[in-house]
Chain A
Amino acid sequence: DTGVSQDPRHKITKRGQNVTFRCDPISEHNRLYWYRQTLGQGPEFLTYFQNEAQLEKSRLLSDRFSAERPKGSFSTLEIQRTEQGDSAMYLCASRDRDRGRGNTEAFFGQGTRLTVV
């Protein structure tokens, strides 16, 4: 499968623990996004990388959340001191560079489902 891959697929953690998720985008896609989806809602934007630079962060991304993309390839999303409200599906997406045809298609991973107990 050459699409966007996320690991793990499921994570159950106790409140207060730290968790880290990984996203491997489609090779050579320079843009990478993290979204969060809760029950009954559409995906909500968290943060965006162009290569290794984090260019935008949502207000949803509290100081307990941190994301990195150290070499402009894979990315990690860490949540510190998890809370029950952090329970959600965390989606990663990647896009190719803009080739002058408008915004290119975003390809999504299958997500990491986080449950905080």
Chain B
Amino acid sequence: AQRVTQPEKLLSVFKGAPVELKCNYSYSGSPELFWYVQYSRQRLQLLLRHISRESIKGFTADLNKGETSFHLKKPFAQEEDSAMYYCALSGGWFGNEKLTFGTGTRLTIIP
């Protein structure tokens, strides 16, 4: 069974402070991990995926297979980062197609 855990439902951070949103997963195989974001009144959209190894809007996430984690980080929070963030998992290449989501973390940036 595949599962994604986001332990924090709510996270408030001051503008300019570092941000870390936690994500742990369980999957028997090599999963692909994603972070999706939903800004107010907008649709769910992909923020980043682990295979891209990109920094998007200043966010990065490293897959740690030993700790089965995929935490999302940003060194300096900005007000426009306030949103709902979902960690998600999918079977690796040629694996199952569906996304399994965590329960989400609502990030609020305090001005």
A contact residues vs B (CB 8 Å cutoff): 3-4, 31, 33, 35, 40-45, 48, 50, 55-56, 58, 91, 93, 95, 98, 101-103, 105-111
Contacts and interface: CB of A to CB of B under 8 A. Distances in A.
Given A40-B103, A102-B32, A56 B43 contact: no
Dominant SS at the B interface? loop
Interface residues of B, number: 25
B43 A109 contact: yes
Contacts, number: 62
Contacts of A55: 97
A42 B4 CA distance: 10
Interface of B: 4, 9, 32, 43-46, 49, 51, 86, 88, 90-94, 96-104
B100 A45 contact: yes
B86 to A, nearest CB: 5
A38 to B, nearest CB: 10
